Chain A
Amino acid sequence: MTATRTTSLFFKSYICLVFVFVVAPILASFIFSFNSDRFPTIPLGNFTLHWYKTIYHDKDVWDALWISVTSAISVSIIATFIGFCTAYTDYRYNFFGKSAYLALALLPPTIPLVIMGLAMLAWLSHIGMSGRWYSIIIAHVVLCTPFAMAIIRIRLAQLNSSAEAAAWNLGASEWRTMGEIIIPFSLPAIISSLCLTAAVSFDEFAVSWFVSGLNKTIPVIILEVLQGQVDPQINAIGTFVFLTSMTLVVIAQILLMTRHGKGLSHE
Chain B
Amino acid sequence: MASKTSKGLTWYAATWRLPNLVWQFLFFVVPLAFLFYLSFWLVRNYRMVPGFDSVNWVKMLSKDYFWDAYYFTFCMALVATVITSCIAFPCSYGLAFKTSNATRRWAIFFLIIPFFTSYLVRIYSWQVILAENGVINAALGYLGLNPFIMLNTVVGTLVGYLTLALPLVVILQTLSLSNIDRSLIGAAENLGCGRLRVVFTVIIPLAKIGLIVGAVFCFILSFGDFVSPYYLGGSKPPTLSILIIDTTKSGQQWPRAAVVAVSMILTLLVVAFAAVTAAYRKRT
Asked if A189 is at the interface (CB within 8 A of a chain B CB), the reply is no
Interface string of B162-181 (1 = CB under 8 A from A): 11001100100000000000
Asked if B90 is at the interface (CB within 8 A of a chain A CB), the reply is yes
Bound complex: CA A122 to CA B137 (Å): 44
Tell whether, in the assembled complex, residue A104 and residue B133 are in contact, meaning their CB atoms are under 8 Å apart: no
Tell whether, in the assembled complex, residue A246 and residue B113 are in contact, meaning their CB atoms are under 8 Å apart: yes
**CB proximity of B85 to chain A, nearest CB, Å:** 13
**CB proximity of B80 to chain A, nearest CB, Å:** 14
A residues near B254, Cβ cutoff 8 Å: 118, 121-122
Asked if B15 is at the interface (CB within 8 A of a chain A CB), the reply is yes
Nearest chain A residue, comparing its CB with the CB of B109 = A253
Tell whether, in the assembled complex, residue B120 and residue A219 are in contact, meaning their CB atoms are under 8 Å apart: yes
Q: Is the interface of B mostly helix, strand, loop or mixed?
A: helix
Bound complex: CA A196 to CA B116 (Å): 9
Q: Please tell me which one of the listed residues A18, A114, A120 contacts residue B91 in the complex, with CB atoms under 8 A apart.
A: A18
For chain A, give the interface size range. Answer: 35 or more
Tell whether, in the assembled complex, residue B94 and residue A15 are in contact, meaning their CB atoms are under 8 Å apart: yes
Q: Identify the interface centre among A14, A15, A104: most chain B CB within 10 Å of its CB.
A: A15
Asked if A142 meets B122 with Cβ closer than 8 Å, knowing A28-B128, A200-B116, the reply is no
B residues near A15, Cβ cutoff 8 Å: 91, 94-95, 99, 107
Tell whether, in the assembled complex, residue A14 and residue B264 are in contact, meaning their CB atoms are under 8 Å apart: no
**CB proximity of A168 to chain B, nearest CB, Å:** 7
Bound complex: CA A22 to CA B234 (Å): 22
Asked if A88 is at the interface (CB within 8 A of a chain B CB), the reply is yes
- Mark out the residues of chain B between 1 and 57 whose CB falls within 8 Å of any chain A CB in the assembled complex: 1, 4-5, 10, 12-13, 15-21, 23-25, 27-32, 34-35, 38
Interface string of A140-168 (1 = CB under 8 A from B): 01100100010000000000011011001
Asked if A238 is at the interface (CB within 8 A of a chain B CB), the reply is yes
Asked if A104 meets B28 with Cβ closer than 8 Å, knowing A111-B265, A174-B12, the reply is yes
Number of A-B contacts (CB under 8 A): 250
Q: Is the interface of A mostly helix, strand, loop or mixed?
A: helix
A residues near B244, Cβ cutoff 8 Å: 114-115, 118
Asked if A41 meets B24 with Cβ closer than 8 Å, knowing A93-B13, A115-B244, A118-B248, the reply is no
Asked if A42 is at the interface (CB within 8 A of a chain B CB), the reply is yes
A residues near B127, Cβ cutoff 8 Å: 230
Nearest chain B residue, comparing its CB with the CB of A116 = B31
Q: Please tell me which one of the listed residues A113, A138, A168 contacts residue B224 in the complex, with CB atoms under 8 A apart.
A: A113
Asked if A248 is at the interface (CB within 8 A of a chain B CB), the reply is yes
Q: Please tell me which one of the listed residues A28, A42, A141, A246 contacts residue B125 in the complex, with CB atoms under 8 A apart.
A: A28
The 9 closest A-B pairs by CB, nearest first: A112-B224, A11-B94, A238-B121, A25-B125, A123-B31, A119-B31, A25-B122, A86-B20, A119-B35
Interface residues of A (CB under 8 A from B): 7-8, 11-12, 14-15, 18-19, 21-26, 28-29, 32, 39-42, 81-82, 85-86, 88-89, 92-94, 101, 104-105, 107-108, 110-116, 118-124, 126, 138-139, 141-142, 145, 149, 161-162, 164-165, 168, 174-175, 196, 199-200, 203, 205-206, 210, 219, 222-223, 226, 230, 234-235, 237-238, 241-242, 245-246, 248-249, 253
Known contacts A25-B125, A28-B135, A219-B120; can you find 7 more A-B pairs with CB under 8 A? Answer: A7-B195, A14-B91, A24-B129, A86-B16, A110-B220, A110-B268, A111-B265
6 of the cross-chain contacts (CB-CB < 8 Å) are: A21-B163, A29-B125, A89-B17, A93-B17, A111-B32, A241-B117
